[in-house]
Structure 1
Amino acid sequence: MESVISGKALMTKNNTFIYDKDNDISADDLSAMISKNESLSNDYNRDYNYYVGNHKVLKGRRNKLRPDNRIVANIASELVDTFTGYFMGIPPKITLDDDTQNDNLQHWLDMNSFQDKLAEVSKQSDIYGRSYMLLYQDEQANTKVAVLPPTNAFMIYDDTVEQLPLAFVRYGRDAETNEINGTLYTAAEIKSFSGNGVFTDSQINVFQNVPAIEFFNNEERLSLIDKVNTLIDAYDKALSQKANQVEYFDNAYLKILGMQLPKDKNGNVKLDMLGNQIIYSPDNMNGNVDVGFLEKPDGDVMQENYLNRLIDNIYQVSMVSNLRDEAFSGNSSGVAIQYKMLPMQNMAATKERKFTQALRNLLAVGFKLGTIAEVPEDELYSALKFKFTRNMPRNDADEAATAATLNGIVSKETQLSVLSIVDDPKKEIERMQEEEKDGILQNIDIQNQAMKNMEGAEDEKNTEEQA
């Protein structure tokens, strides 16, 4: 279902902007979409605060009459970092079939620190639910890539069934005037705007495509934190109350009943030596002496069960494996661990499909300009190959055994791709061929030297016989 923002600007239920493809984006509609994205930024900033540890439990007026600890167990950060490390800890292998094209592609990826930026995109999509990569030309006409969060950028899709990128918006607020200014990227041009979406100047878009791509984990644009923020709030509150109770017990009152304490020369009992948390009465109705601390209700078992249940629910709902859980201790087999991590593997498989499509579209835009690698247009999508590897404790012996089993069954490149220690199968094949070539040349040299030695010995023998 779509809702109207302004004029021809619409928004879908997953907070995606839609616009009529047959009309230019007007200044009023652009201003309305920016205002809408700024309202969405409240949710984005809330998720970011969860990630950095600025949780809800830290806010609000403090109680000065009793212990009021505010403790944050930053589980949100652990969820995001664990899943990002699992999914992107081992950089994906992005290759082209043609050797020359592949060399150019690898050079461009290295020059742009692309793997690092891809890891940042992955982390942002886990925090916010979406993130963007923007291609641009620097002053030396080199194609560069930048990572942008959804707090100050958004994509506008057309209103067709394919919902193709129609425009990309990047904006910010002036520190002095608080006025919005930014840039609108379309396939034809790049336009600057200021104020309420008023366009100031424009230039030709050399990419001839919208030079930005949206990355997301799922179609709902749901982040890891969105799934469990209420559970995290409950855990922080319960943990803080636990600390309050511990402090409350430390401040227990001492009761002294039916016992006469020594007095000073003025006839006053010296209670200040024992502290100010004392209940003292020399008279006791029962006539018995009663000295001890007042006992308070102890809900330790209930609290611990509650905290453990919250932790279990947080990891189950987020589908991120709790690597500190007892299930991962001991000598579990690799297959057993994989079953325990199956929910996270399923989530990563969905994210991999989304990221593969986004990467393919991003690189296709750069290829058309010819600055990354010159790939024919009809081969733009088929020539690109992506290999994602989950970052798990690896068993080199098992991988080597698997690779050896594949010998003669699949191509050498596919055989080497199962080895996590091989970053680029194509390069590895080239190195193997070079080593084989060097080995052959070495053998030839050895044989030639042996032949020379034999010829020399034969000549020496003939000389001796003639003598």
Structure 2
Amino acid sequence: MVSAYLELEEHKVFHHPADEEITGDVVDKFVKLHMAKLPRYRRLKKLYESKGPILEQEGKAEYKPDNRLVVNNAKEIVDSYNGFFIGVPVKVTHQEQTVTKFVDEFRKRNSLDDVESEASKLSAIYGHSYIYVFQNEESETCVTFNSPLDMFIVYDDTIQEEPLFAVRYKPTDTGYEGQLFIKGKELYILNDATGTILTELDEDQDRFYYNDIQIIEWKENEERTSVFEPVETLINAMNKALSSKMNDIDYFADAYLAVLGADLDSGSLQDIRDNRIINLFGTDNIKDIVVKFLDKPDGDTSQENFLDRVERLIYEKSMIANINDESFGNASGVALEFKLQPMKNLAINKERKVKVAMKRMYKLIFSVPLQLPNNMIDEWKNLNFTFTRNIPRNVSDEAETAGKLQGVVSKETQLSVLSIVDNVQEEIERINTEREEKSVIDMEQDENGDFVVTQSNDVNEDE
């Protein structure tokens, strides 16, 4: 029953009936299901860390070359895509200045640019990752990232698939232990030979401020597929082909010498090997003597064609642009857009998933007491998230576009076009401050340095 259930849920979420009690046995069942998925996570992790299957294959005989080469396409795909997607930090803005200031300070205190980048990288590797919101010892709200190696979420069986509970655990000598996160509560998990026990935290430790589960899932896509998983077999094939090619090079460097038609004793063989000179004489049929190296059939052309095709397919089917391609740097603006279009499509789909996760995260953060005024705890719904693709920018073109938007859109939208503006609200404040300072400087002053206020003609006429 468990194996059939796991097959159904291999790349999907875990489900549990919403109206059933969450007991130790229920938690234990899902922990075992999660453990059964660990081999896939570990395989993807090894591939990202340059520990491909070729390093673990059975060794060849001692007299045969046995090179193990790994070209880490998986890491290049993940890092290039992650830098493209979130290399430029996400801009979070709000119409109310109080909310924007609170969000900015919170992001700086928690280094959220780094947290979001790491969560995004983990989701690219495993297909999904997690954000963990918690209170530290100073009762400050903190945020960190977590991989799916030791954490999972179970959703209810409704069509909305709302989070039901989450688990973070680690193995022990007798079983495992960890934390269970339920709405409005956090429990301690202990599993041993007697079963799984759920224990509520002591009253002094129970500082639970959240009205929802503290764990938020970041999805790479709805299938929770790694960004390089579709080309995993191609990456392994490339490593195997390169290793075989290196074996051929070693073979040619240490090829067998064939001497046909002459009888050489061990001393002569030693002399040939040491002095690298072949001198055969005293035979009646000297013309029948053949001295040559034994060559394997040369498959260099086929190997090179195969490697070129595999490399091209790896980037085509993963939909990640190969920025090391020679033609990439010579592409015009329009051609460059077409080359990046597949990766942009991936990024757009991921952006939608990430925005959902970020809104859920800020919903938790805003719900903590004393963070914001009571009338603003629901303002997380009105947060605006701006993602900027990390590609070379033409600031001159952006400035021209922003200039043409003058009077057509709001000042905030106009400034958001400029990639050099990190925080639109702060930039608007600087502009207003400069205007006020300029207006003060431009005012007339008398001989004592006091400002002179001149009445308009309309006012004089009224008088």
Give the TM-score of the pair, scaled to structure 2.
Answer: 0.88
**Which residue number corresponds to residue 431 of structure 1?**
430
RMSD of Structure 2 on Structure 1 (CA) = 2.8
**Which residue number corresponds to residue 175 of structure 2?**
179
The residue identity in structure 2 corresponding to 1:70 is R
1:212 paired residue among 205, 210, 215: 215
Aligned partners of 2:183 and 2:212 also within 8 Å: yes
Distance 2:298 2:286 in 1: 28
The answer to whether structure 1 residue 253 and structure 2 residue 256 are counterparts is yes
Gaps of 5+ in 1: 456-467
Distance 2:186 2:82 in 1: 33
Task: Quote how far apart the aligned CAs of 1:287 are.
Answer: 2.7
Task: Quote how far apart the aligned CAs of 1:179 are.
Answer: 2.6
**Which residue number corresponds to residue 103 of structure 2?**
105
| Structure 1 segment 330-409 matched on structure 2, within 5 A | 330=330, 332-370=331-369, 372-374=371-373, 376=375, 379-409=378-408
Residues 207/279 of structure 1: CA separation in 2 closer, same or farther (3 Å cut): farther
Distance 1:80 1:276 in 2: 53
**Which residue number corresponds to residue 82 of structure 2?**
84
Distance 2:431 2:104 in 1: 19
* Equivalent position SS for 1:341: helix
The answer to whether structure 1 residue 69 and structure 2 residue 72 are counterparts is no
Task: Quote how far apart the aligned CAs of 1:5 are.
Answer: 7.8
1:33 paired residue among 30, 33, 42: 30
The one-character-per-residue Cα deviations of 1:122-178 (angstroms, maximum 9, x if unpaired) are 00000000101011111111111121111100011111110111111111123xx25
Aligned partners of 2:321 and 2:340 also within 8 Å: yes
The residue identity in structure 2 corresponding to 1:130 is H
The answer to whether structure 1 residue 222 and structure 2 residue 221 are counterparts is no
Distance 2:275 2:139 in 1: 76
Task: Quote how far apart the aligned CAs of 1:448 are.
Answer: 0.6
The one-character-per-residue Cα deviations of 1:223-243 (angstroms, maximum 9, x if unpaired) are 113211111111110000000
The answer to whether structure 1 residue 231 and structure 2 residue 234 are counterparts is yes
The residue identity in structure 1 corresponding to 2:35 is E
Distance 1:278 1:186 in 2: 81
Aligned partners of 1:257 and 1:280 also within 8 Å: no
**Which residue number corresponds to residue 458 of structure 2?**
none
Distance 2:384 2:374 in 1: 13
Task: Quote how far apart the aligned CAs of 1:19 are.
Answer: 1.2
Residues 138/146 of structure 1: CA separation in 2 closer, same or farther (3 Å cut): same
Aligned partners of 2:67 and 2:247 also within 8 Å: yes
**Which residue number corresponds to residue 320 of structure 1?**
320
After alignment, is 248-257 or 273-282 more displaced?
Answer: 273-282
Distance 1:277 1:368 in 2: 82
Aligned partners of 1:256 and 1:278 also within 8 Å: no
The one-character-per-residue Cα deviations of 1:283-340 (angstroms, maximum 9, x if unpaired) are 697834433323331111100010111111111111111111133032x222210111
Distance 1:402 1:256 in 2: 78
Instruction: Work out the percentage of aligned pairs sharing the same amino acid.
Output: 36
**Which residue number corresponds to residue 184 of structure 2?**
188
**Which residue number corresponds to residue 459 of structure 1?**
none
Distance 1:375 1:109 in 2: 21
The residue identity in structure 2 corresponding to 1:103 is K
Distance 2:14 2:284 in 1: 77
Distance 2:48 2:354 in 1: 22
**Which residue number corresponds to residue 459 of structure 2?**
none
Task: Quote how far apart the aligned CAs of 1:90 are.
Answer: 0.3
Aligned partners of 2:366 and 2:380 also within 8 Å: no
Task: Quote how far apart the aligned CAs of 1:253 are.
Answer: 2.3
* Equivalent position SS for 2:445: helix
* Equivalent position SS for 1:53: coil
The residue identity in structure 2 corresponding to 1:81 is D
Residues 50/270 of structure 1: CA separation in 2 closer, same or farther (3 Å cut): closer
Distance 1:318 1:144 in 2: 35
* Equivalent position SS for 2:218: strand
The answer to whether structure 1 residue 143 and structure 2 residue 141 are counterparts is yes
Residues 342/278 of structure 1: CA separation in 2 closer, same or farther (3 Å cut): farther
Give the TM-score of the pair, scaled to structure 1.
Answer: 0.88
The residue identity in structure 1 corresponding to 2:239 is D
Aligned partners of 2:366 and 2:377 also within 8 Å: no
Distance 1:117 1:292 in 2: 63
Aligned partners of 2:128 and 2:217 also within 8 Å: yes
